[in-house]
Structure 1
Amino acid sequence: MTRAAQFTAAEAAFVLREPVRVVKKALDSGPVRPVLLRRAGASVRAIGWQDLFYLFAIKELRDELTPKARMAFYEALRQAPLERGREVRFGRFRVAVGDLVEEVETRTASLAELAEKVEFRGDGEPVLRGTDVEVHRIAALVDGGLSADDVLVDYPSLSRENVQVATAYAQAHPKAGRPFPRTTAKRALRGAGLDELDEVLDGAAAE
């Protein structure tokens, strides 16, 4: 993912390993400067790579910089491109940022790799590449408490990596609109003691 990319609050939260609400609060309080983007027909706030790096760096350096120093750090970041191994200088401070730059680059690359493992159906729904299984359907099952092994029982064509991709992608790209069920129909039938009907469904799926 290039440094020209823009990151939504959910994508930034994925990179920062923070809850989305924490990132949204940071966008509200500044000094980062979000812009409005059109995504899936809706306007969403997004930040550039430089602002994303600032949020990551402040998370790592929060105990070392005063609020005033953080503002000066932010302005210094905006004045020159970030490079691995360089220092950011502001006032009496010098902050080595090489390892921080490398970590953000690694995490944004992981975000880009997720996108390559997903494709979109004609209705715009993201599915796991090479399948017709909706990403957010699998993520909802995991969110509902199912383990990867549980999911694979009802989706034997998938792999453990597919499940991991689905949950990670859904974290970075939350589903808009009505959510998918947090259990499968077959599992709900088994839970209700309707094992015979479950067997009929299995037989129909195999035909």
Structure 2
Amino acid sequence: MAAMDQEKFSVTETVFLVERPLEEIQRAVDKKVIHPVVEDAAKRRRLFGRAELRFLVVDREVGGALSVDGKKRLYKEVTKLSARAATVKLGPIAIDLKEGDAKLNDRIKTLRRLKNSMQFKGGEPYLKGTSIPVYQIAALRKEMSVDEILQDYPTLKRDDVEVAISFAAIYPKLGRPYPGKTLKRGISELLKLGIFDEMPDEAA
């Protein structure tokens, strides 16, 4: 538990962990409701700790009834809590944390599993034990179903594809994207359209 309490997460990891849109998290930062650690001021790289995650989970449930000042007070109270605290008090109200903490812990375990499913070659993530780039598989989901991807990559399991998709969502690819279809699938579709049919003999 102690190691997890000291662990910090990027903003895209936080989006995944608390299951909230990036815009909502950014708004909480901009309004100074929460105070993540700034690792690189020039790049504005922020890291979110346990208190920020717990607040964002609780705020998702009760934040609609609070003003900005109320949210700031709630965050302050959350930062005072031990990792084992089951409730947070805001004035006379006690807010239960157990269910939110359980879900958060599960998401953190899932994130770790995703990371452990990767191996890196030249800075590029590959599905562990394969020579298949993660971003290549994830990009296919834009135009192909998981079943179609598995047909074209028979050595992969459904979980491999889902891991690749989740990893790419949390850690978006920089630079030129991979195509949304496999070469095999693209050629097959062109064949169906008759693109490669023999041209009629004009001399005949």
TM-score of the superposed pair, with normalisation by structure 2: 0.83
2:131 is the alignment partner of 1:129:
no
2:26 is the alignment partner of 1:24:
yes
CA shift at 1:55, angstroms?
0.8
Counterpart of 1:77 in structure 2 is 78
CA shift at 1:64, angstroms?
4.1
Counterpart of 1:97 in structure 2 is 97
Counterpart of 2:199 in structure 1 is none
2:11 is the alignment partner of 1:9:
yes
CA shift at 1:128, angstroms?
0.6
Q: Distance in 2 between matches of 1:179 and 1:19?
A: 23
CA shift at 1:173, angstroms?
1.3
Secondary structure of the residue aligned to 1:111 is helix
Letter in 2 for 1:44: R
CA shift at 1:178, angstroms?
1.9
- Residue 186 of structure 1, aligned match among 174, 184, 187: 184
Q: Aligned pairs, how many? A: 191
Aligned-CA RMSD value: 2.4
Q: Deviations over 1:144-169 (max 9, x none)?
A: 13111111122111111100110111
Rate the CA distance shift 1:48–1:136 in 2: closer, same or farther, 3 A: same
Q: What are the residue-to-residue correspondences of 1:52-201 with 2, within 5 Å?
A: 52-83=53-84, 86-121=86-121, 123-142=122-141, 144-193=142-191
- More displaced stretch, 101-110 vs 27-36: 27-36
TM-score of the superposed pair, with normalisation by structure 1: 0.82
Confirm or deny: 8 A CA contact 2:34 2:72 kept in the other structure: no
Counterpart of 2:200 in structure 1 is none
Confirm or deny: 8 A CA contact 1:32 1:47 kept in the other structure: no
Rate the CA distance shift 1:141–1:19 in 2: closer, same or farther, 3 A: farther
Confirm or deny: 8 A CA contact 1:3 1:48 kept in the other structure: yes
- More displaced stretch, 24-33 vs 107-116: 24-33
Letter in 1 for 2:97: V
CA shift at 1:194, angstroms?
8.0
- More displaced stretch, 148-157 vs 61-70: 61-70
Confirm or deny: 8 A CA contact 2:117 2:128 kept in the other structure: yes
Gaps of 5+ in 1: 199-207
Confirm or deny: 8 A CA contact 1:77 1:88 kept in the other structure: yes
Confirm or deny: 8 A CA contact 2:58 2:100 kept in the other structure: yes
Compare CA radii of gyration and give the structure with the larger one: 2
Counterpart of 1:33 in structure 2 is 35
Q: Distance in 1 between matches of 2:139 and 2:155?
A: 18
Q: Distance in 1 between matches of 2:39 and 2:56?
A: 20
Confirm or deny: 8 A CA contact 1:83 1:101 kept in the other structure: no
Q: Distance in 2 between matches of 1:20 and 1:146?
A: 26
Q: Distance in 1 between matches of 2:173 and 2:21?
A: 16
Counterpart of 1:45 in structure 2 is 46
Q: Identity of paired residues, percent?
A: 28
Rate the CA distance shift 1:137–1:27 in 2: closer, same or farther, 3 A: farther
Letter in 1 for 2:185: R
Q: Distance in 1 between matches of 2:80 and 2:66?
A: 19
